[in-house]
């Protein structure tokens, strides 16, 4: 009898995980649909782990006194939390997709990141309306949106762009990762960090 109870309990737990996973995928599907049909941009993937580590080490090495850092298009906030854990800066994770922002806020609470703040907003509208000056901004946005950042050079001292460059501005330095690429609209972009100091 006890064995059957344990088996039923395990089955219930597994079913609960399946239902939670299904709900998660359903929300992601609607978010991707919104991204493609309303915002007219392809849905994006998470930044690679190696890129995240390099961004964190770049900030620690070259911008250790940064007080305000933002990630433009933060998704689930993994990179912003990694930066927050390894620096003393106030880190702002700016995300316009409601489900991604919700998950990011949830992870902020679970991970007890006190200096990380997820904001559900259009990042460019936020930059238009904020008085905060950012010592470092991080972006993984794609070739169409990355050039929009040049409008905010008065509010951003340093931009670290993952994989995509601002076409008309020469980067201060390019950090080659050496393998892997982001495929965006059937074009392959090698994993690199473009660092711009304004």
pTM of the full predicted structure?
0.78
- More confident site: 190 or 114: 190
**Terminal C-alpha separation, the chain:** 70
Q: Which domains does the chain have, with CATH numbers?
A: 1-43 (no CATH), 49-197 (3.40.50.150)
Spatial strand order in the sheet of 90-95: 116-120, 90-95, 68-72, 134-139, 156-162, 187-197, 173-184
Question: Is pLDDT of 39 > 60?
Answer: no
Comparing 134 with 1, the larger pLDDT belongs to: 134
């Amino acid at each position: 009898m006890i064995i059957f109870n344990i088996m039923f309990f395990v089955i219930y737990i597994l079913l609960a995980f399946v239902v939670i996973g299904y709900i998660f995928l359903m929300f992601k599907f609607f978010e991707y649909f919104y991204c493609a049909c309303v915002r007219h941009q392809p849905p994006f993937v998470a930044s690679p782990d190696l890129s995240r580590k390099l961004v964190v080490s770049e900030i620690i090495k070259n911008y250790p006194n940064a007080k305000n850092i933002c990630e433009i298009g933060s998704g689930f906030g993994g990179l912003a939390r990694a930066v927050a854990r390894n620096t003393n800066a106030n880190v702002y994770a700016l995300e316009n997709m409601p489900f991604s922002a919700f998950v990011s806020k949830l992870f902020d609470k679970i991970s007890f990141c006190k200096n990380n703040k997820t904001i559900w907003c259009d990042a460019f509208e936020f930059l238009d309306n904020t008085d905060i000056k950012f010592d470092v901004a991080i972006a993984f946005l794609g070739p169409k949106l990355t050039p929009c950042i040049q409008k905010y050079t008065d509010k951003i001292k340093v931009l670290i762009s993952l994989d995509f460059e601002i076409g008309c501005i020469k980067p201060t330095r390019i950090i080659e990762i050496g393998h892997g690429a982001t495929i965006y609209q059937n074009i392959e972009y090698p994993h690199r960090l473009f660092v711009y100091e304004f």
